[in-house]
Amino acid sequence: MAAMAFDFSGRRVLVAGGSRGIGRAIALGFAQAGAAVSACARGAEGLAALRADGVAHVQAADLADAGQVAGWVEAAAAALGGIDVLVNNASGFGMGDTEEGWQRGLDVDVMATVRASRAALPHLRAAKGCIVNTTSISGLGPSVRTPAYAAVKALVINYTASQAAALAKDGVRVNAIAPGSIEFPGGTWEKRRKEDPALYGRILTGIPFGRLGTPEEVADVALFLASPFARWVTGQTIVVDGGQMLG
């Protein structure tokens, strides 16, 4: 990871959905770059591992629950002494075209992003901070295989632009990252490789670099967007997919 290229000493960073995969890489990336980091997720084991790896504050929270989102932001701000960066990374992974799939995506991917942003906003305004939302390349076009997931990720892309336009007057930047297919132990694409090799193979064939991405490659872009190097970047969705969308 290129975390050491950035210096976040003295910065306070919150990562929603930080216990595994991309979220874990983002939380560790900021911590390794000197930030005081708070992460939340449902998984106690993953949070304990983050704490052991140097993340300053962790809290178990179901991000589909409005009260738990607000409670985590409040506790994190108190523990860290404020908030400079909010990373909204959680996903309900509501893939299918079902009531449950749609509701999970709306509750976690969309409303957790809205609620955490609202709760953190007074601190972000005071710090002239920034928000980084994690969306997906699925949100940039139609999807027959994962219609609910694609739709809620499109909502996050649109909301990111709306946030950026509304908060620029307060000196708060808002951007998003749209990862392509990212593989890590225990993640969706590792499972697909084992359980649905045909689908995995089709995805792999469509990536010009001939491999899936890593969480660290997404985390490095999150650090860039939160750094002074991106001080004139707002309202953007940055695709991190190794050229997957070029096919």
User: Is the per-residue pLDDT at 2 higher than 70?
Assistant: no
159 belongs to the catalytic site: no
Structural domain includes residue 95: yes
- As a whole number of angstroms, the distance between CA 58 and CA 79 comes to 10
Structural domain includes residue 64: yes
Buried-exposed string 155-167: b where 16+ CB fall within 10 A, e elsewhere: bbbebbbebbeeb
Structural domain includes residue 243: no
Crossing angle for the helix pair 188-195 and 197-205, nearest 10 degrees? 120
Residues whose CB is less than 8 angstroms from the CB of residue 3 and which lie 6 or more positions away in sequence, other chains included: 28, 29, 30, 32, 33, 219, 220, 223
Catalytic residue among 30, 149, 189, 200: 149
Residues whose CB is less than 8 angstroms from the CB of residue 176 and which lie 6 or more positions away in sequence, other chains included: 132, 133, 134, 135, 156, 157, 160, 236, 237, 238
- What are the φ and ψ backbone dihedral angles of 17, each rounded to 5 degrees? 80, 55
Q: What proportions of the chain, in percent to the nearest 5, are helix, strand and coil? A: 55, 15, 30
- As a whole number of angstroms, the distance between CA 7 and CA 184 comes to 26
| CA-based nearest residue to 13, from 31, 72, 140 | 31
Structural domain includes residue 217: yes
Q: In what order do the strands lie in the sheet with 237-240?
A: 57-60, 36-41, 12-16, 85-88, 130-134, 173-179, 237-240
- pLDDT tens per residue across span 190-226: 989 998 999 999 999 999 999 999 999 999 999 999 9
Q: What's the CA angle centered on 8, arms 239 and 81, to 5 degrees?
A: 115
User: Is the per-residue pLDDT at 235 higher than 80?
Assistant: yes
Structural domain includes residue 65: yes
Give the domain CATH number at 234: 3.40.50.720
Give the count of domains, the chain. Answer: 1
| CA-based nearest residue to 93, from 171, 22, 11, 166 | 22
User: Is the per-residue pLDDT at 189 higher than 90?
Assistant: no
CB atoms near residue 231 (< 10 Å): 10
Structural domain includes residue 40: yes
What's the mean pLDDT when you consider all of the chain? 96
User: Is the per-residue pLDDT at 3 higher than 60?
Assistant: no
- The whole domain housing 45 covers 7-238
Structural domain includes residue 1: no
Structural domain includes residue 226: yes
- pLDDT tens per residue across span 54-96: 999 999 999 999 999 999 999 999 999 999 999 999 999 988 8
